[in-house]
């Protein structure tokens, strides 16, 4: 019997698999399709201090091997999340990580502080891909000093919750941002968020999304995400003892195992859930079969086991 349990900065998960933020709502949306107790942890969509209606439609468009979305962080806001969604999440029976977004630092702090004494919440995942309105709209996550500033400010408001910082791939060197947030107190990293992209309607000569640009997810970004996880693991996370939650285009056990070998301890699945809401079960079984086939007792034995062809 293979042990699939993993430890994310002190939070014990029965297996490495989680939902990717924003792709499974607040959980109840998926309960008719999939037994959520099979998850290692549930990750909510981004929560902001005030409710947000999100962007105008069209907000989603399919691409070859991918999905482009510009939902615009639509969510019920902190007060309704606490009143209505937390009681539902309490019935799940698995640890919950709440993804937190903000247009300015004070918004992150308000939400993170309010979650610090909610028992079912075990961690916050900081979405630093949001534009910082006070700094001219540049994303918090693309500049090391800003990424570090939001991380260290949030860290002191976390209380019992672990702080997972979610990295954007839309940067020159993701390891530089990882280093900044780890030094600023991140307990774990999750990566990657979507890649900024555009799809054009050649008849109207306009972008298909009302927002013009969106975030690309799904199999198209998987090799990029695997590379970035490996880079952050070898440059920053391994030495710092900080676990990585890998995501981006996982659709089967093979893609999941790639992330584990590259250095991820946890795994999140998003876009693939739209095509097959039950895929997490087969991915979990596939990981267990792989471990058994190669003579491993625990999933941790293959984390970072990748051997490069060239010495670095
Ligand atoms: C429709 C949709 C909505 C998303 N919403 C959020 C969100 O609210 N917050 C966030 O941090 N990431 C959000 N993401 C990004 C995912 O959590 C994930 O990082 C990305 O999609 C890559 O994983 P995947 O290829 O398995 O989907 C969203 C992705 C999609 C497709």
pLDDT in tens, 88-101: 999 999 999 999 99
Spatial distance between the Cα atoms of 98 and 123, rounded to a whole number of angstroms = 6
Tell whether the model's pLDDT for residue 133 goes beyond 80.
no
Residue 100's nearest CA partner among 166, 144, 53 is 166
Taking the centre of ligand 1 as the mean of its atom positions, its distance from the CA of residue 155, in whole angstroms, is: 23
Q: Which domains does the chain have, with CATH numbers?
A: 6-56+74-199+219-302 (3.20.20.70)
pTM above 0.95, yes or no: yes
Whole-angstrom distance, CA of residue 100 vs CA of residue 165: 10
The three-point CA angle 37-42-44 to 5° equals: 145
Who lines ligand 1 at CB under 6 A?
Answer: 20-23, 45-46, 67, 69, 71, 73, 99, 127, 166, 193-194, 217-218, 221, 247-250, 269-272
User: What does DSSP assign to residue 234?
Assistant: I
Question: Nearest 5°: phi and psi at 130?
Answer: -75, 145
Beta-bridged to residue 188, according to DSSP, are 164
Residue given tokens 């028992």 in the structure block: 119
* 130 is known as an active-site residue: yes
Ligand 1: which of 19, 23, 139, 166 to mutate, judged by most atoms within 8 Å of the beta carbon? Answer: 23
What is the per-residue pLDDT for 288?
Answer: 98
Rg (CA), the chain: 18
Average pLDDT of 141-146? 96
**How close is the Cα of 246 to the center of ligand 1, in Å?**
12
């Amino acid at each position: 019997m293979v042990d699939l349990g993993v430890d994310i900065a002190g939070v014990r998960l029965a297996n490495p698999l989680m939902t990717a933020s924003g792709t499974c709502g607040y959980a109840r949306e998926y309960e008719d399709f999939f037994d959520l107790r099979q998850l290692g942890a549930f990750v909510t969509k981004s929560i902001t201090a005030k409710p947000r209606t999100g962007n105008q439609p069209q907000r989603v468009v399919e691409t070859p091997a991918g999905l482009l979305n510009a939902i615009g962080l639509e969510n019920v806001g902190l007060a309704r999340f606490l009143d209505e969604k937390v009681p539902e999440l309490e019935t799940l029976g698995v640890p919950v990580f709440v993804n937190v977004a903000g247009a300015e630092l004070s918004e992150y702090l308000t939400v993170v502080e309010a979650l610090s004494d909610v028992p079912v919440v075990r961690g916050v995942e900081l979405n630093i891909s949001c534009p910082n309105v006070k700094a001219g709209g540049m994303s918090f996550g693309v500049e090391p000093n800003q990424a570090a500033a939001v991380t260290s400010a949030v860290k002191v408001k976390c209380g019992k919750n672990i702080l997972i910082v979610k990295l954007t791939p839309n940067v020159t060197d993701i390891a530089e941002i990882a280093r900044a947030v780890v030094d600023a107190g991140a307990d774990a990293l999750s990566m990657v968020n979507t890649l900024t992209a555009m799809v054009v309607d050649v008849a109207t000569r306009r972008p298909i999304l009302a927002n013009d640009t969106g975030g690309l997810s799904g199999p198209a970004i998987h090799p990029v995400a695997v590379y970035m996880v490996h880079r952050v693991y070898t440059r920053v996370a391994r030495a710092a003892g900080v676990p990585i939650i890998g995501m981006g285009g996982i659709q089967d056990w093979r893609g999941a195992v790639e992330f584990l070998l590259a250095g991820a301890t946890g795994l999140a699945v998003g876009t693939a859930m739209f095509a097959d809401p039950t895929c997490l079960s087969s991915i979990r079984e596939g990981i267990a079969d792989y471990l058994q086939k190669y003579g491993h007792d625990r999933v941790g034995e293959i984390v970072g086991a990748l051997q490069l062809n060239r010495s670095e």
